[in-house]
Amino acid sequence: MTAFSLEPAQLTWCAELRALAAERLRPLAEKGEPDRVNRALVAELGRQGLLGRLFTSGALGLCLMRESLAQACTEAETALALQGLGAHPVHACGTPAQRERWLPGVTDGTTIAAFALSEPGAGSDAAALQLTAHPDGPARWRLTGDKCWISNAPEADFYTVFARTTPGAGARGITAFLLPADRPGLTGHGLDMLSPHPVGALALDGVPVTADDVLGEVDRGFRVAMGTLNLFRPSVGAFAVGMAQAALDATLAHTARRDAFGGTLRDLQAVAHQVAEMALRTEAARLMVYAAATAYDAGAPDVPGRSAMAKLLATETAQYVVDTAVQLHGARALRRGHLLEHLYREVRAPRIYEGASEVQRGIIAKELYARQEAR
């Protein structure tokens, strides 16, 4: 089904990406170690030119990449997205020296990036983070505290780290730092998570940073974080749409050939209606994702609300579609190695990371009331 108003060239590109993911990227993903950064896969994404597109394709192009890759290889999609999430603050807010030092390695797949915002006590409430940048002379600080639930940690080559530089200032007292992984005092360990991609925790014990490591402005790091999330939230929705489409495709094939009650499953009205509902919700989510991405690319003023709506609808939809697909497949879908078993584990996390569903509802309501008051 052709969604939104994509050009023929865009549709062709999406088909090419799905084929690339199935034929070249999935074999590399299958050779990777669970819970570890798959550097061979990231390097292949670089060789195919996809990592460079993270910074040139705009929000809609990013969504098309993530949706297309997710339909055939969620590991490749996630590896691509994490490179973009970790490096976008450098691309958008870094100095020429910072960009020259780090972005070439990100785009060719030899340098692994990570976005370090969440903490053990400050996940959804990002403005409450406690990692502290203690002054250590003019334009120098030492970072002390913990980060948790950080994708690509502790194996990343550099981290975009958000730390409190002004106590008691809430969101206005946070600074973004570009932190190379070899800085003294930085340690970390992996976490055993439900989904198979690498997630870890970081401990910072007096890690030295200077003004040369600041991304953007001192005490304005929350803008860096939110600017990154406003771009990536619709594309999280695109990832979810890709998973939903994969589950829907598998369900169409299964219900068309599975014999049951003297016919096939597709002949049962209850099953056919469930499949129709899966398709309806997937297409609605896709349209909202594309609309939010187009608004971002056009510089529309309502991007935060649109991004929140897109992520919320798409991730909740994908959860429903994958769960329904498992139900229609029966026990076979729960066997280790089945596509739906894989998607069932993958689909849960996007409803939490980069702002949980409850946070997205809060953003939407805030934007609605602000718009109403401005009238």
Element (H, E) at 343: helix 339-346
155 SS3 class: coil
Cβ–Cβ < 8 Å for 4, 289: no
Q: What span, in angstroms and rounded, lies between the C-alpha atoms of 124 and 82?
A: 19
Cβ–Cβ < 8 Å for 133, 127: no
| 263-264 and 259-260 beta bridge pairing | antiparallel
User: Could you say which of 7, 354, 358, 367 is catalytic?
Assistant: 354
Q: How far is CA 329 from the centre of its chain?
A: 28
Residue 133, amino acid: A
Cβ–Cβ < 8 Å for 117, 162: yes
Residue 270, amino acid: A
Q: What span, in angstroms and rounded, lies between the C-alpha atoms of 252 and 138?
A: 63
Residue 173, amino acid: G
Residue 101, amino acid: R
DSSP state of 301: T
Give the chain's radius of gyration (CA, Å): 21
Tokens read off for 348: 């849960």
Q: Is 75 a catalytic residue?
A: no
Of 183, 187, 95, 189, the residue nearest 141 (C-alpha): 183
Q: Which residues are catalytic?
A: 354
